[in-house]
Structures are given as structure tokens and as C-alpha cells.
Structure 1
Amino acid sequence: MPPRPDLAPEPALCRALAADLGAAGFFSEALRAAWGETADTATARGLRSPALRALGERTDALAVLGRLFVLGMPQPGAAVGEALPRTGVDGLGRLGLAAVDEETVTPQAIIRPQSFTDDRGSGQWWIASDLDEAALGGALPDDHVLGVGGASLTLAGLQLPTPVARGLDIGAGCGIQSLRARRDVAAVVATDVSDRALGFTQLNALLNGVDGIEVRRGSLFEPVGGERFDRIVSNPPFVITPRVKGVPAYEYRDGGLQGDDLVAAVVSGVGAHLAPGGVAQLLGNWEDRGARSGLDRVRQWVAASDIPLDAWIVERERLDPLSYAELWIRDGGTLPGSPEFAQLIDAWLEDFAARGVTGIGFGYVLLRRPAAGAPTLARYERVPQSLDPGTALGAHYADALAAHDRLAALDDAGLAASVLVVGADVTEARHHLPGIESPSVIELRQGGGFARTVPADPGLAALVGASDGDLPVGALIDAIASLLEVDPAELRAELLPAVRELLFTGFLRFG
């Protein structure tokens, strides 16, 4: 394949391209309607033929741009010129998005519309990135810039929806996290080791009319030495890759360090760049080594920070070494069954064995520099239940932090004096053995947030059911103790810690 042209995100051309894309109706829903739900799903998996069959011989602007930018296929120059009258085929070439000859426009990048929804409403971006495996017809180049994938959508949905002044996006890639951050952050610095990634970040900001994003080249915190931020977000190159000859190292996912050392470096170093009250959010992998769990090792990284930090770590998934190796070798475009695939598997497993790795965890990291005083939050948990695709947890995170801060200032007497309401998404399930009147199991279930299920005894279930914003917690406990014929003081000692947990997790809210 000939070398890719350099990106040249000229503001005027980016505005022209945005106008052309909008005029062509180049949006997610329109494309889905053009080629159907099945083809849309297949396209997300790198399969182009269903969409091509659905488009047939169509030559309208949406069909031409869908083939060119979504499927990554060359198109006739005349058709592209008609679809992009303001930009023109020469404009695409000047931007570095296509190679142009007398008759054909060959894409050098993909542009995909990306719908999103957060607490402020819904919207859509156009996201440009490098050609994928389907368009390339083989393995990715080492300096590939990834588009919007599952991990990047997850992190975008985790970002806190609270306004702050200054943010940092470490390892910006195509710039999706910077775009999301700018919805709540006044100014963002985006860093990456890849000039091409920073070019895509600039181009995508211009294409979507988003200002306030400054790009800087460098690794981790090097470009921002001595600076502090109110919000730091990172989808770092956290994939654990053997550092041996013959194993590809992709810039978008491999940080160049051994094992999970890169995530450890971000966790232990981010505190120095957080302003008081500032929050960092990132995704990461961590290794279980021998009898020591990955979550315990993350706790050690947090303790190594020069700045004491609040920490909320959620492990969402855990894979054995073989499954992890297979996942990321396939991600790079190497097919199972090939000699190369088997060789890479051996390299991965030997690397894990050298460190005594028994499993690899994936999850969400939230770190906060206390505005004043010592840290009060140290929560390391496994939350493996599945969530609906596209679930945005940012508002849930913000509510949980606010509840934690309020609880940290309340002793048990203060909590007992508080009036609470049950979350609108909370339901109760009771399981009875046949012929037995009393339930053997009571569960509280959460429709939002992490969709948790919490076992409850009759006292806790009664307290949650009675939390309607009328009576304080203490009065409710006394009434329940009378009904259950138990000691009120003992019931209070049993239920108040559970109430604190339910407030943090969103089952209960302060009235």
C-alpha cells in the first residue's frame, strides 16, 4: 500500500466538508435506513457486503459517501464531486482524507457519523479515523489511529456531566473524549505520542465545529509538566502486549511498557496534575499475579501517588491469559488458524507466565484529589453484570460522589435524622418457597446505574419501601423495630450502614 498522505486539517475546508455532509444527510439514522439494520450491524463488525448489496446501484450523495467514508471503498471522482460540491475532490486530497486521480477517489481515512446521548440531550458527531481492517484488507499498520469503538464509547459515557474550567485528554487518539469533555469543560488540552492522532483530533474538532481543544505531542504527562486540571480523562494504550520481536505494537492500544505498567504510571502520577477537587477518569487493564488480585494491585498504585486520592475502582470483566491473548491478536487483524496467530499466542502466554499472571481485569478508574483534608473514598469492587449498550453512567457517578460527600459529613445521628426517598428505578422482588407465606429471598433491583441487585432482609426492605420523603430514617427504624418486635438500637446499628451503601449506589436518595 502506498504511504498515506499527511492530514492537513484546514479550517475552511473542514467547514465546507461539514456543510456537504450535512446537506447529503450523512447521519447515522439515514445510513441505517439506507442499508437496513442487519447491514448496519454487519458494518460495525467489519463486514461490508450486506451494505453494498442494500445500496445496489444507487448514485445519490448518501450512497456515494456511505461507500467512500463508511465502507472505505474507492468511488468515481465525478460522483464524489457531486456529493461534495463545496469541498470538491481536490479538497479531500488537501485534507489528507483521500487520494485523487483523474477518475477515482480512494479514501485514506473513514468518516462515520456517531450518535450520542447524555444528560444534556442527544447529538451527533462525524468522526474521522484511519481505514479499518475491512478497507485495508489485512492487518492494521502500527501507527493506526482507531475510530470510535466500544471502549471509547464507554469512557465517553462515564465522563462526569458537571461543568469545570480546564480538562486534559491523555492519549487523545481520534479525539472522541475531547469532544465529549468539551460539552462540560471550558477548555481541553489533548495529548498523544502520535502526530497523526493529533491531526485527527484537530480535524474532528473542526469538522464538528468544536473549539477550545488544544493539541500537544508527548507521552502521558510530559506535555503538561507543572500544570493542573479540573478534569482528566484517558483511554490510554492499556493493552498488555509482549515486548518481544515479531509482536506488533500498535500505537493506539500499546503503551510500550511491560504488563500493566502504563496504567500503573497513570494512576500513580495523575494526582500531581489534578487541581483540588479535580477528577480523573480512565479505563485500564490490570493483572492478577499469583494470589494477588488486580484490584489489590490497583490499590497499591493509588497508595503510591504523591498526592492522596479518593479512589473508586470498578472491575467490569476478567479474562484468563489465553482468552485475553486471542481477543487482542484478532483485534490487530491476524486471523485464527494462521501460523502467525499461533506464534503470537505463544508469545503472549510466555509473557504472562514470566510474571505469574493468572488473569487480566478490565474496568473503570475514578480518582479525585480532595478539595480539602484527607481522602474519604476507597472503593474497589467487581461489578460484572451486563448493561445495555450505550449506557451513560456519568450522571450516576456524579450522584454517587455527591452522596458520598454528604454522607462523609454525617454521623449516625445525622443520618437517622435525614429524610430519604427511594430511587425511581428501584423495584423489589420476593421469592417464596411453595406453600410458605414468608419470602425466602428479598431482592432490591436497580434499573439505572450499574443495574445492581442487593439482597435485603425484612427490616431493610421495609425501610426502603417506607422511604417516601415523609419521615426521617430514625423514626422509620423505630416503627419497623416495633413491627418486627426487635430492639430499636440493634436494628439501627444493623440498618444504618446498609442505608449508607444504598445512598451511594443510588437505591435511596436524600429527600
Structure 2
Amino acid sequence: MNDLLDRLRGLLLDTGYTIDGVRERLGDVAATALSREETVPALRATAGDDPLGTLIRLWWLGAAVDERKAPRGLPVEELAAAGLVGVEGGRITSTVHLQPWETGGYVVSDRKVRPGDPALRTDHVVGAGGASANLAQLVSRRPAGRVLDLGTGCGVQVLHLDGRAEEIVATDVNPRALELARLSWALSGIRGVDARRGSLFDPVPGERFDLIVSNPPFVISPAGRFAYRESGFRADDFCRDLVRLAPRHLAPGGTCQLLANWLHVGGEDWQDRVGGWLAETGCDGWAVQRDVQDPAEYVELWLRDAAEQGTPRYRELYEDWLGWFESENVTGIGFGWITLNDSGSLDPVVRVEEYGQRVELPVGGYVDEILGSITGAHRLTDAELLGARLALADGVLEERIGSPGAEDPERIVLRQTRGLRRSAQVGTVEAALAGVCDGLYPLDPLLAAIAELTGEDPGDLREKAPEGLRPLIAEGFFHISTG
């Protein structure tokens, strides 16, 4: 099988069946229509006998192609014997969805389900999409020894982890997912992944990892109908248990990064709910809510995802799901990132926040700095902070907002142009420090100089400064210089 997949990969690359090749061949109109699951423009764009157009119709669009027009060298009989295509009446049909991925590899999954297609099989393996890319952008870029991809699905995270990890273990509760993930890895030239079947951490008892990543079946529903999106656990218990159990499998200094859904329940603060999960771990933790949907939006999204919109059961499924949310007093469903780090500290720090703005990608390129800023701001005593040498982070700009001609601004805002691109309204002292903090001098004498210039009492500035600076350090506007 590996030999067959190696030859197939060579053909795909030679034909230009890559991310860039497919985008160029389809054009903007057809590609945008495909994002809405409309295939007609793409079918028109790939009409003809050229090899690349034929492969796109076969592997991406799921259309039957004439066997006589198959690209030269396509091992049709071997692919049919392997169950990857079907051949009947001189027409070739794909039995899987094969998509080029941004890493340069390929991802194999079940065929895309579009409106009008037959119902999903319960063990359906979804392809790589927005959530997969989201997690890949979040994961730390640090090299790692042992890595666990929990809930590997079609195996896409392994494509990103290959080359950064010495050893990769990938798990999934769905045997079909593991079957297709192995095809993804082989077709991408990746060898040696240890694939195991089981739920949560059952396949890795007693084992520890330097990095754990997971795009889990986080969808919250009254019944687990599809393995790729639902765990069968009650409400958001699967994500809660994943967070709670992860530290038992982290090596010292190890990190766990995952995507999750959580409930917003009437009379309860969602930040307390998610913060409670993290607080029980004993790890430093950072949870970010990137989006929140009302129950109706959420139900519609996932019924549409399974191509059930417009089917005879649509209204029944919608009413059952919505009724269950009402019985649980659910007012919304949050989606976001969770990162845990086993720092070994006896004073773990947890930050839970809502942040929906655009950020610099990949977040994994600076996520370790984010955690360092959050924990450092919390753990420094006031005396240590006053003795620290602060440096303004790269890319921070100052905005002064006020009426034209006014002597003093109404507001002073620090704005990041890098990283999470946060903004923060600050006072005159913090703004003055932003202009002079370059990592060379301790904070204490800088405050004394500012007090002399402004006429303020230096003792008052020293007392108030830590309270104003901690959130700015935690949010990455200032760094503590160690050089």
C-alpha cells in the first residue's frame, strides 16, 4: 500500500494537485462558491480533459470522470483494489475525499456531504477544515519530544507536527478515522506514527507527553449521532474531562492545547464555568472564547454541517435539540482555545477571557510568550516589579484622542500591531513609561523621574504603579527584560 500511495503522491505533485495549483485552476469565483458548498462553478471551471481538472473533479468535487480521460499513470485498478475508487461502466468515482493541505501533504477523509446527498454514516470521518486550521495555528512551535494527538480524525494535526516531534502517538475512538488517517500520513510521506484506538486518555494509560493537542468531538447535543463531532458525553462534560485529565499525562514543563465548546447557562458566568475546569488542573491555564452562538444558531450550524437542512427530519431534529437546550437553561454556546502548561509552580495562574478580534497568525509562534506574560505579571511582588527592568513590546503604538487644539487628550490608548493586537486605555504615567521603558533601567528610578517632571508625589506613584502595570504586562504591552 505504501508503494501505491508513494506513486500516487508523485502523480498528484507532478499534475499540480496542490493547494496553490487547485486555487489557481478553480479561480476566485469557483473557490468562493465552494466555500458555500456550491459546486456548479467549480465543475464548469474544471471541464475539459486536462489532468489537473480531472483530478479536482474526481478527488475534490466527488464527480465521476471518464476512465479514458484519467491522467496518464493513474493506477486505477490498484486504487480500486485498495477501495479508494470505484470503476463501473468506464466511469471512475472516488470513495474518499483527497485534499492537498497547506503543509504540502494530503488529507484523506470521507467524501464531502452536500445538500441532497445521502445521510452521513455514523462513523463518518470529516475532512480538514476551519477548526483543523485553527488548532494548527494555535499549537506552540517549540520542538517537542513525545506528542499526543488526541482525537486525530483524518490525521491532519500530525501533518503539522511532523518534523517538530521526535515521537507522535495519535488516538481516536473511531476505527475508520484511524484507517483514513494512516492513508493521510502515508500519502504525505510520514512514517512511524503510533496510532491507537480509544476514548480520551484510555489508549495511553500512565504515559506522559511534552505536548498534547486535540480537536475533540466538542459539539454539544442531546445525543451523540456522529463520532466525528459528538462524544456521547452529557452536555460539555467531554471537554471538561479532557481538561481535567490532561495534566496526568503531561511531562514536567509539558503543554496541552485544544479547541472546545462550553455552555452558557442562565444565572451562571461562563468564565467561572471554564475557569473552574482549569483551576482544578494545577497547571497554568489560558482560555479564550473566540465566538459565542445562541442555541438556535448553534443547532442550525450543525444540522447544516451534516447536510440535514431541508430533509424530512430537519424540523424534528431542530425541535428536539432546541428543546433540550431549553431544559438545560442554556443561553449560548461558546467556542474557543484552551492552553495548559505544567510549569511546576505551586501558584498556578489561570486567565479566562473573551477575545474575538483578528490576531497575528500563527498564534503558536508566540503562545509561549503569552503564557509567560500572564504568569510573570501575577507572580511578581510589588517590590520585584519596582526593581524589574521593563521594555515596551515591539509594535506597540500610542494613540492620543481628544478635541482638536485641546491641551490634554481625553484618552490615551496603547495599541499592539503584532501578536494578539490588543488595545488598552492607559493613564499618563503608563503612557510616559511606554515612552522610556527600554529594558535598561529599573522601574523605580523611572517613576522617580516621572514624579519630578509631573510634580506628583513619588511615594504615591510607587504605590499605584504596580496595579496599573500588571494588566499591561499580562497582556503583552510590556516585557520584563532579562538581558
User: TM-score, normalising length from structure 2?
Assistant: 0.93
* Pick aligned residue for 2:129 from 126, 146, 149: 149
Q: Distance in 1 between matches of 2:291 and 2:172?
A: 27
Matched, 1:78 2:65: no
Give the deviation of 1:113 after TM superposition: 1.6
Partner amino acid, structure 2, of 1:330 = R
Deviating 4+ runs (over 6 angstroms)? none
* Pick aligned residue for 1:227 from 199, 207, 217: 207
Aligned length: 481
* Pick aligned residue for 2:472 from 502, 505, 508: 502
Unaligned segments of structure 2, at least 5 residues: none
* Pick aligned residue for 2:179 from 187, 193, 199: 199
Matched, 1:104 2:84: no
Q: Distance in 2 between matches of 1:384 and 1:139?
A: 34
Equivalent residue number for residue 367 of structure 1: 340
The change in CA–CA distance for 1:330 and 1:461 in structure 2 (over 3 A counts) is: same
- Contact 2:374 2:475 (8 Å CA) reproduced: no
Equivalent residue number for residue 44 of structure 1: 35
* Worse-matched range after superposition: 379-388 or 14-23: 379-388
Matched, 1:357 2:344: no
**Which secondary structure does the structure 2 equivalent of 1:106 belong to?**
strand
Give the deviation of 1:189 after TM superposition: 0.7
Give the deviation of 1:36 after TM superposition: 0.8
Give the deviation of 1:136 after TM superposition: 7.3
Equivalent residue number for residue 3 of structure 1: none
Q: Distance in 1 between matches of 2:379 and 2:410?
A: 36
Equivalent residue number for residue 276 of structure 1: 252
Q: Distance in 1 between matches of 2:271 and 2:98?
A: 37
* Pick aligned residue for 1:380 from 346, 352, 362: 352
Q: Distance in 2 between matches of 1:38 and 1:422?
A: 44
Q: Distance in 1 between matches of 2:430 and 2:192?
A: 49
- The two structures, once aligned, show a CA RMSD in angstroms of 2.1
**Which secondary structure does the structure 2 equivalent of 1:443 belong to?**
strand
User: TM-score, normalising length from structure 1?
Assistant: 0.89
- Contact 1:321 1:358 (8 Å CA) reproduced: yes
* Pick aligned residue for 2:167 from 167, 187, 191: 187
- Contact 2:412 2:426 (8 Å CA) reproduced: yes
Q: Could you report, residue by residue, the CA deviation over 1:247-277 in whole angstroms, capped at 9, with x for unpaired residues?
A: x711110001121111111111111111121
Equivalent residue number for residue 120 of structure 1: none
- Contact 2:218 2:238 (8 Å CA) reproduced: yes
Give the deviation of 1:490 after TM superposition: 2.3
Matched, 1:465 2:420: no
- Contact 1:295 1:315 (8 Å CA) reproduced: no
Q: Could you report, residue by residue, the CA deviation over 1:198-218 in whole angstroms, capped at 9, with x for unpaired residues?
A: 112111111111234210011
Write the mapping of 1:96-495 to structure 2, written as runs, cut at 5 A.
96-101=83-88, 103-115=90-102, 123-134=103-114, 137-243=117-223, 249-305=225-281, 308-335=282-309, 339-370=312-343, 372-387=344-359, 391-404=361-374, 410-495=380-465
* Worse-matched range after superposition: 43-52 or 407-416: 407-416
The change in CA–CA distance for 1:90 and 1:30 in structure 2 (over 3 A counts) is: same
Equivalent residue number for residue 7 of structure 1: none
Identity of aligned residues (%): 37
Give the deviation of 1:384 after TM superposition: 2.3
Q: Distance in 2 between matches of 1:193 and 1:134?
A: 25
Give the deviation of 1:138 after TM superposition: 4.5
Q: Distance in 2 between matches of 1:407 and 1:212?
A: 41
The change in CA–CA distance for 1:202 and 1:489 in structure 2 (over 3 A counts) is: farther
* Worse-matched range after superposition: 273-282 or 403-412: 403-412
Give the deviation of 1:178 after TM superposition: 2.1
Give the deviation of 1:220 after TM superposition: 0.9
Q: Distance in 2 between matches of 1:74 and 1:133?
A: 15
Give the deviation of 1:285 after TM superposition: 0.9
- Contact 1:129 1:174 (8 Å CA) reproduced: yes
Matched, 1:64 2:36: no
Matched, 1:92 2:83: no
Give the deviation of 1:76 after TM superposition: 1.5
Q: Could you report, residue by residue, the CA deviation over 1:427-476 in whole angstroms, capped at 9, with x for unpaired residues?
A: 22221124423111121112232221111111111211222344333332
**Which secondary structure does the structure 1 equivalent of 2:464 belong to?**
helix
- Contact 1:174 1:204 (8 Å CA) reproduced: yes
Q: Distance in 2 between matches of 1:456 and 1:242?
A: 46
**Which secondary structure does the structure 1 equivalent of 2:246 belong to?**
helix
- Contact 2:145 2:165 (8 Å CA) reproduced: yes
Q: Distance in 2 between matches of 1:493 and 1:37?
A: 58
* Worse-matched range after superposition: 226-235 or 34-43: 34-43
Matched, 1:55 2:46: yes
- Contact 1:34 1:55 (8 Å CA) reproduced: yes
**Which secondary structure does the structure 1 equivalent of 2:123 belong to?**
coil
- Contact 1:383 1:450 (8 Å CA) reproduced: no
Give the deviation of 1:165 after TM superposition: 0.7
Q: Distance in 2 between matches of 1:266 and 1:424?
A: 35
**Which secondary structure does the structure 1 equivalent of 2:220 belong to?**
coil
Equivalent residue number for residue 34 of structure 1: 25
Partner amino acid, structure 2, of 1:249 = R
The change in CA–CA distance for 1:429 and 1:124 in structure 2 (over 3 A counts) is: farther
Partner amino acid, structure 2, of 1:280 = C
Partner amino acid, structure 1, of 2:391 = V
Give the deviation of 1:376 after TM superposition: 2.4
Q: Distance in 1 between matches of 2:142 and 2:391?
A: 23
**Which secondary structure does the structure 2 equivalent of 1:283 belong to?**
strand
The change in CA–CA distance for 1:413 and 1:366 in structure 2 (over 3 A counts) is: same
Q: Could you report, residue by residue, the CA deviation over 1:216-244 in whole angstroms, capped at 9, with x for unpaired residues?
A: 0111111111111111111110101112x
**Which secondary structure does the structure 2 equivalent of 1:224 belong to?**
coil
Give the deviation of 1:387 after TM superposition: 4.1
**Which secondary structure does the structure 1 equivalent of 2:25 belong to?**
helix
Q: Could you report, residue by residue, the CA deviation over 1:26-52 in whole angstroms, capped at 9, with x for unpaired residues?
A: 112122111211211222332211122
Q: Distance in 2 between matches of 1:36 and 1:237?
A: 33
Equivalent residue number for residue 6 of structure 1: none
Give the deviation of 1:194 after TM superposition: 1.1
The change in CA–CA distance for 1:237 and 1:26 in structure 2 (over 3 A counts) is: same
